[in-house]
Amino acid sequence: MLRSRRTRFGLGIVCAGLGRLRNSDDGDDCWLQGRNFIGRSRACTIRLDRPEVSGEHAVLRWTGGGWEVKDLHSRNGVFVDGRRLPGGERTLLAPGARLGFGRHAGHELADAGEPTAFAVPLTGARPIEAVGGILALPDPHAPAATIFRDGDGWSIDRAGETMAVVDGAVVRVGDDAWRVHLPELLIPTGIADGAPPLAGLLLRFSVSRDEEYVELVAVHDRQLFDLQARSHHYALLLLARARLRQHELPPARQGWIHQHELLSQLRVDRNKLHLDIFRLRRQLGEAGIHDAARIVERRANTSQLRIGVSRIEIVPLDH
């Protein structure tokens, strides 16, 4: 019997936390990168301009399964829940751990979730966090650019053109600019706990006779992800049909379709297609599916794209 996975697009919501360090004095939160150097030096990720803090006092980093802090042989020490660490010692942190840099307290690990991608506006406005593994700029409701994990690195997709992007890069969209913070590609906790890879999914489309209604479920190892019906599923349905028509070709050649042909079938412009692809990627990412950005693949140096899975079923809707 299939086990149903609850998602925000059907039965509930699945979401990941974002590592946050809270200043106990003023309540301000600092979003954590994969590795955070703490100290008075301008080179530090988290600057603490206090006399008891050394230039490079400590490092707080994500290990792939949790957060750990290490004293970088500071003069006045690092404290965890009131205990001073020996110089050079590392210790894993529990959610809510009280941290002190040069004194007994002062900070708290307010959220022990794994680091995720985020972008800090150069204007100093509030950072933008990735949702479902997809970082959308300038706004998730009208994304002009999306950033996502891509194999061993990160990629940015702007209006159908994809290129590599690195941690710390400045990304410009229109008149605005952000510095992006992209965590190391350590194996996330969710993957270790059995989060399904995209490549292992079976996608089942249920389509009404007039094709105005397309339900979608994903199945992996007897687990069912009910993605329900969304308008952006229709673009994925057309890509699925293209792949099924070419099932006799070698897998690397199956399903590629020119973007202009897909736009003609959908009767939409490029911006609407770009928005639908973003919504597809985010929906699967929020459902907890690993590597969800690959649900739509783009062939390098061409205008071709295809669905990123090969196990596909298309059935008529019963009602």
Architecture label for domain 20-111: Sandwich (2.60)
In tens, the pLDDT along 54-90 reads 999 999 999 988 999 999 999 999 999 999 999 888 9
In tens, the pLDDT along 1-56 reads 333 333 332 222 223 457 899 999 888 888 899 899 999 999 999 999 999 999 99
Determine the Cα–Cα distance for residues 59 and 177; give it in Å rounded to an integer: 28
Direct distance between the N- and C-terminal alpha carbons of the chain, in angstroms, rounded to an integer = 23
pLDDT of residue 273: 92
**Closest residue by Cα to residue 8 from 287, 288, 290:** 287
Token representation of residue 14: 């699945």
Question: Model pTM?
Answer: 0.72
Tell me if 198 sits within 8 A of 289, measured CB to CB. yes
Residues of the chain with pLDDT under 70: 1-17, 185-195, 319
Sorted by where each begins, the domain ranges of the chain are 20-111, 121-181, 189-316
Q: Residue 307: how many CA atoms within 13 Å on its side-chain side?
A: 26
pLDDT of residue 1: 39
In 83-235, where do the E strands start and end? Answer: 83-84, 90-93, 98-101, 107-111, 118-121, 128-129, 135-137, 145-150, 153-158, 161-165, 170-173, 176-181, 202-207, 214-220, 223-229
